[in-house]
Amino acid sequence: MLANLSLRLRIFLFFCLIAVGGVTVVLVSLYLGLQRSVDAGAAGGFTFAAILASFGLLALSAGIWLLFDENVAKPIEKVAALMRVRAHSDAETDIDPELARYLGDLAPAAAGLADRAGNAAQDLAANLADHTAQLAAERDQLTALLTDIPVAMTVLSADLNIVLYDGQSADLLARIAPPRLNAPLTDYFEPEALDQARAQVNRTGLPVGCVLTSRHGGLSCPALMRPLDGAPGYLLSFEASEPQLSTEQPRPLVYDFNLLETAGQARTEDTPLSELTFAVFDTETTGLLPHKDDIVQIGALRMVRGKIVEGETFDTLVDPKRPIPATSSEVHGITDAMVAGAPDVIKAARGFHGFASGAVLVAHNAPFDLAFLRRQAEACEVAWDHPVLDTVLLSAVLFGASETHTLDAICDRLGIVIEDRDRHTALGDARATAQVLACMIPMLEARGVRTFGEVVTETKKHGRLLQDLN
């Protein structure tokens, strides 16, 4: 019946209910107080009436708040969140008119607007498809061309952060540490020779030869540094004679030329989310108790400037040095035979720590995964002191704490599909979490939550749901 009434009339009736309820509580309290005054006197009767009216008004207010919360506040939050999902992701989640059935035409109007915006986005995507295919073809041609050049090439920003590296450069860097876009080259080579070469290039504008030594010794690489034309930064090419680099396979290019324009490093708290580097990870374990169970798989990938960096992944099985319970194997599919000969947790955790160097760690239910890693921190001789984001808390910020915040539920909400073969694998769940984060960043920015510090402020408000680790 209420569904057929106008929204303004419903609001009027709602306030009439408040008025009638308040008057009724007061009158009933006065009547009962009058009855009590016969035995307790006038003062006792009025005191009883005042106390009864106070509790009655409190109960009435609580009931009205509950009705308002369930039928107004929560529906508005849900509709707004779904509109943000449609506006800032590729999801085609329908806005159910029943979500706000007591709010007039709000839900149908929002659904119509979202559908129209979605159709416009599809038309735009279709128009861009040909251009995207052309760019992909040009990239493949460039990759094939570089394959025939026996030189490892790396493009650096003015701060000597990695902006581009090819396959041969990746092979070279991997001998020292995992190749990472936007990582300082000084994570790989001693800074003295790099600083001297950069200073000479800046002074002369000419190419400068140098010999770079790895941070931990054991590898010396002749290189040539030259300035980039028309952009702040440098092209660093390594001679192929030492070390010998294979050119048999086509070399993937990993790059983001927007990094050339990035200014000096700001504090993480002040850095916009869209400019941060993330290491998104997940673990599979022998059980659910971090103080007694062990890791059997670590999977991770990196995100730079809000995009997944294809080719920068970390994926390893881990030998827990104990039998894997059958109940756990049923979940993640990892058996004792599969981990036989795999690295132990110390080697695997150290490798992941290097992969995540300089990045913000991201996980779904981060306290669980990090508890396993931090338990081994002393044995690994590493510190897990990275800034941390948790997609459970981010989901609570965007969709409200009362919603379901499992990874599957969030992916369904955002239109992200997890293939069955990838579910409950460390790398598969890490990729799904990264896709979730990529959708959430523009949604957070649209709400005015732009920097890492602002996000942490919001996530700490949901501490009852899950601990924020920052």
Reported as type and span, the H/E element at residue 242 is none
Q: Cβ distance 102 to 75 under 8 Å?
A: yes
List the alpha helices (DSSP H) in 190-292.
Answer: 191-204
Q: Cβ distance 205 to 227 under 8 Å?
A: yes
- Residue 424 a catalytic site member: yes
Query: Which residue do the tokens 């690994």 mark?
Result: 380
Provide DSSP, 93-131. ----GGGGTTSTTHHHHHHHHHHHHHHHHHHHHHHHHHH
Residue 45: both structure tokens together: 């009767």
Query: Which residue do the tokens 């493949």 mark?
Result: 140
Query: Residue 363 CB: number of other CB atoms within 10 A?
Result: 24
Burial of 74 (0-12, 13-18, 19+ CB in 10 A): middle
Catalytic residue among 364, 386, 405, 424: 424
Phi, psi of 283 (to 5 degrees): -125, 155
Q: How far apart are CA 391 and CA 396, in angstroms?
A: 8
* Contacts for 294 with CB less than 8 Å, ≥ 6 apart: 285, 286, 318, 320, 321, 322, 345, 372
Query: Residue 459 CB: number of other CB atoms within 10 A?
Result: 24
Q: Cβ distance 152 to 171 under 8 Å?
A: yes
What's the distance, CA 300 to chain centroid? 12
- Burial track 27-42 (b if 16+ CB lie within 10 A, e otherwise): eebbeebeebbeeeee
Phi, psi of 152 (to 5 degrees): -85, 130
Q: Cβ distance 462 to 401 under 8 Å?
A: yes
- Burial track 241-275 (b if 16+ CB lie within 10 A, e otherwise): eeeebebeeebebbbbeebbebeeeeeeeebebeb
Q: Which residues are catalytic?
A: 424
